[in-house]
Structure 1
Amino acid sequence: MIGLLKSQPSRPSPLSELCSALPSLPLRLQEVGRFVAANDYDATTRSMRDLAAEAGADPAAFTRLAKALGYSGWDQLRAALTEARRPSQASPFSGRAKGRRYGPDSDVALINAKLEAEAAGLARISAVSIADAAKALHAARRIWIAGFRSCRSVAELLNYELRLFRPDRVQLVGGSGPEDLDLGAFHAGEAVVVIGFAPYSRASVLSARAAHGAGATLIAIADSPAAPMTEGADHVLLYEAAASPGFFPSLTGAIAIAQSLAAVTFSLGGASTRKRLRETEVRLAATSQYVAEKG
């Protein structure tokens, strides 16, 4: 007869552990702990050195804080914080709505909170990282763009903007058929942009792995440095998807990154890209793609 196994008690969330431990910590670690608790998203996306500079603390204090909570070091605590932010696979969207009030009395407050969160998230996007990634796009022989499910809209936007001045060297993964047909077409010297947020689509992860395996330059636009499509990435461009209130994660940061990539790639092309853009505009005008404005 097989006996029933006792279920192991689940470990409390890292933020709960942190808040419970604060009173017993030394004063300096309390300050660092309160900073982490108030900036848990930044704690999962920024380096320990950057966090320490903003908190006005020694980087080693973050390691001491993690060890005081029972973790081997800061990397393990950050991994736990990242995992805690992942939505449930069974209810990735409705789970975000729990505990939030909706209705006539709260609609304006929700909108204001969302707009404030979006603005704060945009301010934390790294312009330097985008500029470096744009240089890789400029140098690439061909650019592939992979975005699926809700991220398809971001991929299509980036594909459209780049094709305005690089019409023959940009391709949407899965744009002309099943995406798995394109995954075997990646080559070294090309760039693959993969866009995603938790819960991550299988197609986006497979695209990233295929790009890395082919030796192509992998650019991941993701909500976390621990996102599966960032493994082996040459450039990781982070945006905040979960910080904004609402039932659905935010794509505002991803769109801003995509448009910034297109703008800088165009700028790097100089006179030749301006010439191709004008040629594209002539073709669009010749086929009357836009409504003529009345004088």
Structure 2
Amino acid sequence: MNLDEINSRIDEAFGTYPKQLRVAARYVRENPDKIALHSLRQVSDMASVHPSNLMRLVRELGFDRYSEFRDPFRDWLGSGQTTMRGRVEGLRTKGKLGQMSETVAEVFARDISDVEATASQIRTEDLVAAADMIIAARRVFIVGFRSLHSAAFFFHYSCRMFSANAVLVDGRGGAMGDEVRDAGPEDVVVVLSHKSYSRDALNIARYAKNAGSRIISIIDSPLAPTAAISDVRLVLSASNASVLSSVVSTLSVVQALITVIVSKIGDDVFETMKRNDAFYKALDTFVED
């Protein structure tokens, strides 16, 4: 069993664990380097759990001994893929060895695997629940920073095709989060977040939640910081085959969510589309065939 498989097992079972087991599981999920380098007792102390609880988690995950459980973490640490620098160095080495074709093929294969895994774990009822919230909302604030800005922008752009209530939160001019200043119970915040998680995205979600807004999280783990305050969690699979965590599966979830929204939206969408067409024609936006 490799580290990805261990993480998947934790993600799938996390909600069924008792409190102390959840504490241990969260620490394991978020600190793989500590597991690779430290003993059972040392990790227990750092995670603030009793060693028996950590050992119970180890057995729940299918290992008889802690040393067996630690081996995949050591393999991961030794692979050099734990940091961006390590991934860049690994890619440069493969390039020098003439392994570029294999490397490119691996990137495509990992993205395909991510999308397939995401499709199997995203529940249609969760997409429908998220769509219903978005359709009923006064405003929909869309939050996705750094590498996830592209997916957030795509979601915002798509929503604007059929609704005027979508607001992209992008910190323009340094005014980070000002868009949600007057968020309230009639509003929804959609947060896109991958590890390493954006503190700004978390703070904005917390602020909106305290103001009564509902939160939809599109995240790469049920243990992501916004998961605990979310009304709907869409948990996807995202790997690091290249330099940064891939956004391909995130875009797939966004596409699926947009599809559900459009299938449930009212007839006034056609009037909105008509206005869009008139606008694009007036500005001569697109090159005609």
Structure 1 length-normalised TM: 0.71
Residue 46 of structure 1 aligns to a residue whose secondary structure is helix
Question: Residue 258 in 1 paired to residue 251 in 2?
Answer: no
Q: By how many angstroms is 1:72 displaced?
A: 5.5
**Contact persistence 1:183–1:211 (CA under 8 A):** yes
- 1:232 maps to 229
1:108-153 Cα offsets, whole Å, 9 max, x none, are 2122222222112112220422232112111212111011112111
Cα distance change, pair 218–72 in 1 and its aligned pair in 2 (3 A): closer
- 1:283 maps to 279
- 1:20 maps to none
**Contact persistence 1:151–1:196 (CA under 8 A):** yes
Task: Give ranges in structure 2 of 5+ residues lacking alignment.
Answer: 34-75
How many residues are paired up? 236
Mapping of 1:32-111 within 5 angstroms?
Answer: 34=1, 39-47=5-13, 73=21, 75-84=22-31, 92-97=83-88, 101-103=93-95, 105-111=98-104
**Contact persistence 1:144–1:172 (CA under 8 A):** yes
Q: Write 1 or 2 for the structure with the bigger share of helix.
A: 2
Residue 30 of structure 2 aligns to a residue whose secondary structure is helix
| Amino acid paired to 2:84 | F
Q: By how many angstroms is 1:220 displaced?
A: 0.9
Write the distance in 1 (CA, Å) between the matches of 2:196 and 2:14.
25
Residue 143 of structure 2 aligns to a residue whose secondary structure is strand
**Contact persistence 1:97–1:247 (CA under 8 A):** yes
Write the distance in 1 (CA, Å) between the matches of 2:10 and 2:100.
30
- 2:55 maps to none
Cα distance change, pair 132–198 in 1 and its aligned pair in 2 (3 A): same
Q: By how many angstroms is 1:95 displaced?
A: 3.6
Alignment RMSD? 2.9
Cα distance change, pair 44–213 in 1 and its aligned pair in 2 (3 A): same
Q: Could you tell me the percent identity over the aligned residues?
A: 23
Write the distance in 2 (CA, Å) between the matches of 1:175 and 1:38.
33
Cα distance change, pair 127–285 in 1 and its aligned pair in 2 (3 A): farther
Write the distance in 2 (CA, Å) between the matches of 1:281 and 1:121.
35
2:134 pairs, out of 118, 137, 142, with 137
Question: Looking at CA atoms only, which structure, 1 or 2, has the larger radius of gyration?
Answer: 1
Write the distance in 2 (CA, Å) between the matches of 1:131 and 1:286.
35
**Contact persistence 1:217–1:234 (CA under 8 A):** yes
Cα distance change, pair 291–127 in 1 and its aligned pair in 2 (3 A): farther
**Contact persistence 1:192–1:219 (CA under 8 A):** yes
Residue 267 of structure 2 aligns to a residue whose secondary structure is helix
Write the distance in 2 (CA, Å) between the matches of 1:230 and 1:180.
19
- 1:206 maps to 203
Mapping of 1:3-42 within 5 angstroms?
Answer: 34=1, 39-42=5-8
